[in-house]
Structure 1
Amino acid sequence: MNYHSHSNPKIKARFGDALLASLASDGGLWMPDSLPHFSPAQTAKMGAMSFADCAAVLAREFVDERYLTEDLRAICRDAYNFDVPMVTLGGELLDAATPEDHDEFILELFHGPTLAFKDFAARFMGRAASHLMKSSGETRTILVATSGDTGGAIGDAFLDQDGIKVFILFPKGGVSQVQEQQLCTMGNAKSNVKAISIDGTFDDCQQMVKDAFGDKDLTTKHNLMSANSINVGRVIPQSFYYFWTSLQAKAAYPSRPIVYSIPSGNLGNLTGGLIAKQMGAPIDRFVIGNNVNDPFVDYLGSGEYKPRPSVPTLSNAMDIGRPNNFPRILALHNGDYDAVKSVCWGASFTDAETERHIRRVHTETGYIMCPHTAVGHLAMEAFTADIDEPITKITVGTAHPAKFADSVETILHQNIPLPAPLAKAMRKTKRMHVMKPNLEALADYLAVHA
């Protein structure tokens, strides 16, 4: 598989080179030259595989000759050593062998080591990058901007990896208490992972990373590599779980259309789903749930894309006013607004609506949602309100609610037990550097610590 810059198709790269370069030389996002398409017979075989083995088959289509089939199988089995369950709000597991008559599921993508969906992309990316650097002896400095969960997943995936240093930029006061504790307690004082609190918004963090990559001297000096969803190595693996879980849902309910609702910020998760659909995954529609930072929902309604400064909300990981992956979504649909709108429907919700929904779902079912999952579930309810035909509704659960315990406990007036990894992080002493949102400050810090 070869890749090209979304803004200049003449700029080309292999997967490994695109992965390590992060952005194309013109600043464009890497896009695959083409997408594979699997026949129903092929997807039937893939649906019978484990998730990790299906992911390895899919990965084979996207990487280059430096990855052998056995390498990919080992990478995926190591990366995906946790469950990918679809459950009802009552806690029942979707089982293709003996499906009950359910039409609504939560795809819980938070059973990895950092309890967030970002683990899927980060763990594949970390192992894919390490595979290349072990053979080449190269080193890399990773810059990653996070609105909450990305930094934790990347830090965990690259912790103690030889030849790699990781610098995590997060907005001061813009992540949950649990998320900040997780970001700032990885490894020890001599660890290769360092947290930087930026006195600004997530958009400021993201712009600092973009500016760093736009500085050729800085990029060359430190061998910079991005682990944000601007990196194609983050986006491609997000197609794997849409592909495999849609096959499980179709096997259980073969006559029903399948609709996924995705709580969305930077649009990398949606991009992965759209790639899966174009590869032949049996997905009929995507519902996009935004908080009040909703430029993509506005675009779906008007055809005009108007990025704007982000504002803080309860669902902080989606506080993004300039989503990085919007150009990729356009590229996947040849810039055709009608084509995008034919597969995507969106709605946005306030914090007050999100809080009420978390309380209602818990009261009616006992299920506890994180604020982001709640936004996605609200969007699914809005989309299906006037649909009478039977469909399989799958809301993407992006993070364990305990990662947002400070807000969810206040909403529900009850304690949420912390899973073991979070409880351990909460007992540690935080280490972080506070920085103003400008490239000069970042360059000075890298000069000392990279």
Structure 2
Amino acid sequence: MNYYNINYKDEIVSFKEATLRGLGKEKGLFVPEYIPSLPSSFFEEITQKSNIEIAIEALYPYVTDSFTREELQKTLEEVFVFDTPVRELLSNTSVLELFRGPTMAFKDVGARFMARCLGKFSDKNNPTTVVVATSGDTGSAVANGFYKVEGVRVVILFPKGKVSPFQEYQMTSLGANIQAVEVDGTFDDCQALVKQALADTSLKKERVLSSANSINVARFLPQMLYYFFAYKQVKNLLEGKDWVVAVPSGNFGNLTAGLYAYKMGLPVSKFVAANNANDTFAIYLQTGNYHAKPSVATLSNAMDVGDPSNFVRIQELFGHNLEAIRKMISSAVISDQETLDEITYIHNTLDYTLDPHSAVGHLALQKSLLPIQYGTVLSTASPKKFDEVIRRVIPSFPIPKVDLSACHKESIENSYTAYKEILLR
């Protein structure tokens, strides 16, 4: 399996090269040359398969140049937390808990898989510098996943004052090969700095650079496995209804992974892109026009993205056909007040606590679901990471102990010069 650059289609690389480089020429994202189809028997027999069998069969075609099946199995067994249970909340809906990794976020799996890939691919005598921007959970997952990985240095950018204390602690408490830098700006500013670094030819002469956001194929592709695991669990609950999956969406890496699973044959009838006030994609679906805009801060901070990188991958998947995209994806925009109301309602009626992102996803699903459909929402993070928000409506919710006094971070203005200086150290 080779990968091509969306912006420069003559640039074709291996999985290894795509992983090491992150971005291609002209800041282009890499995508697979084709999407392999899984046989109908795979889905007919999925409830009889183990999760590791499902994972290997679905992911192996994408990494054949870099892993044997045995190597892939060993890697997946090291990084994947397979107990991602579906819990039925209402008669026609369920929630799939993806926050089973060490930082209590769904991004743990992709980050840990990518860390193993870069650890395998990197030249130990010429370390790889991984650059990453985060609006919250990505930085935590990457920090933990890459901690003390030989031959890799990680520099994480996060927007000042726009991540939760727990998230900041997870990024700034490790040290070793993990460096956290707060930027006086938004997530989009951080992401722009990362993309500028990856496109800086003079910098790349001095440092081997890669990315760990979902712009990297090794980050987003493993996330498609969640959708296969979910189908395994809900298959016998559908009772003839069409399956709909709601995805809390920020940079749209997780939704893109789901779309890849669909293109491989996953029998999902619709995806719901659940957005907070950062509604760039929702407006695109309504108007057909995509206009990036500055991100705004919300209670679901990991989704505060005004210019989602993976939008171009979605366009590419559907041949830039707007109607085909609309047929497969709908969108709902949820306000902060609606988010709090949904957390309250689900807690009081079902004795289940949603984090803000999952609350956005669940309410978006309820607004979109038809009687002939069965819906699953991907619960993307533990509410423990967002205790300040949860306690607004559930005062008794426990507060995790976080001590930032011994943590280390650097602070810079929204300046590429300042960022580059850190990368060149």
Alpha-carbon offset, residue 10 of structure 1: 1.4
* Matches of 1:445 and 1:427, distance apart in 2: 22
Alpha-carbon offset, residue 54 of structure 1: 1.7
Alpha-carbon offset, residue 24 of structure 1: 1.1
* Matches of 2:385 and 2:308, distance apart in 1: 23
Instruction: Confirm or deny that 1:125 pairs with 2:114.
Output: yes
Q: Please point out which of 263, 269, 285 is paired with 1:284.
A: 269
Match of 2:6 in 1: 6
Q: Please point out which of 181, 189, 198 is paired with 2:169.
A: 181
* Matches of 1:303 and 1:247, distance apart in 2: 35
Provide Cα deviations, 1:135-192, integer angstroms capped at 9, x if missing partner: x765200011000000111111110011100011000001011111111112x4xx00
Instruction: Confirm or deny that 1:437 pairs with 2:414.
Output: yes
Instruction: Confirm or deny that 1:416 pairs with 2:398.
Output: yes
Does the residue aligned with 1:122 lie in a helix, a strand or coil? helix
Instruction: Confirm or deny that 1:215 pairs with 2:174.
Output: no
Does the residue aligned with 1:105 lie in a helix, a strand or coil? strand
* Matches of 1:81 and 1:249, distance apart in 2: 19
Alpha-carbon offset, residue 411 of structure 1: 2.3
* Matches of 1:82 and 1:240, distance apart in 2: 10
CA RMSD, aligned part only? 1.7
Contact 2:80 2:109 in 1 (8 A): yes
Instruction: Confirm or deny that 1:398 pairs with 2:380.
Output: yes
- Give the unaligned 5+ runs of structure 2: none
Match of 2:346 in 1: 361
Contact 1:247 1:282 in 2 (8 A): no
Q: Please point out which of 154, 172, 182 is paired with 2:142.
A: 154
Contact 1:4 1:13 in 2 (8 A): yes
Does the residue aligned with 2:26 lie in a helix, a strand or coil? coil
* Matches of 1:276 and 1:443, distance apart in 2: 37
Letter in 1 for 2:371: D
* Matches of 1:331 and 1:371, distance apart in 2: 30
Contact 1:185 1:428 in 2 (8 A): no
Contact 2:250 2:305 in 1 (8 A): yes
Match of 1:235 in 2: 220
Letter in 1 for 2:134: T
Q: Please point out which of 153, 156, 170 is paired with 1:165.
A: 153
TM (norm. structure 2) is: 0.96
Letter in 2 for 1:111: R
* Matches of 1:50 and 1:133, distance apart in 2: 32
Residues 426 and 246 (structure 1), Cα distance of their counterparts in 2 relative to 1, 3 Å cut: farther
TM (norm. structure 1) is: 0.91
Does the residue aligned with 2:27 lie in a helix, a strand or coil? coil
Does the residue aligned with 1:106 lie in a helix, a strand or coil? strand
Letter in 2 for 1:231: N
Residues 281 and 406 (structure 1), Cα distance of their counterparts in 2 relative to 1, 3 Å cut: same
Does the residue aligned with 1:413 lie in a helix, a strand or coil? coil
Match of 2:39 in 1: 39
Identity %: 37
Match of 1:95 in 2: none
Residues 131 and 124 (structure 1), Cα distance of their counterparts in 2 relative to 1, 3 Å cut: same
Contact 1:361 1:367 in 2 (8 A): yes
- Which moves more between the two structures, 305-314 or 245-254? 245-254
Letter in 2 for 1:393: G
Instruction: Confirm or deny that 1:110 pairs with 2:95.
Output: no
Residues 286 and 278 (structure 1), Cα distance of their counterparts in 2 relative to 1, 3 Å cut: same
Alpha-carbon offset, residue 46 of structure 1: 4.6
Does the residue aligned with 1:330 lie in a helix, a strand or coil? helix
Contact 2:20 2:121 in 1 (8 A): no
Letter in 2 for 1:360: Y
Contact 2:15 2:65 in 1 (8 A): no
Residues 210 and 344 (structure 1), Cα distance of their counterparts in 2 relative to 1, 3 Å cut: same
Residues 137 and 76 (structure 1), Cα distance of their counterparts in 2 relative to 1, 3 Å cut: farther
Letter in 1 for 2:183: I
* Matches of 1:58 and 1:438, distance apart in 2: 41
- Give the unaligned 5+ runs of structure 1: 91-101
Contact 1:105 1:394 in 2 (8 A): yes
Alpha-carbon offset, residue 430 of structure 1: 1.6
Contact 1:47 1:54 in 2 (8 A): no
Contact 1:250 1:282 in 2 (8 A): no
Contact 2:277 2:333 in 1 (8 A): yes
Contact 1:182 1:426 in 2 (8 A): no
- Which moves more between the two structures, 145-154 or 18-27? 18-27
Contact 1:146 1:170 in 2 (8 A): yes
Does the residue aligned with 1:61 lie in a helix, a strand or coil? helix
* Matches of 2:399 and 2:376, distance apart in 1: 26
Instruction: Confirm or deny that 1:379 pairs with 2:364.
Output: yes
Match of 2:298 in 1: 313
* Matches of 1:254 and 1:28, distance apart in 2: 42
Does the residue aligned with 1:161 lie in a helix, a strand or coil? coil
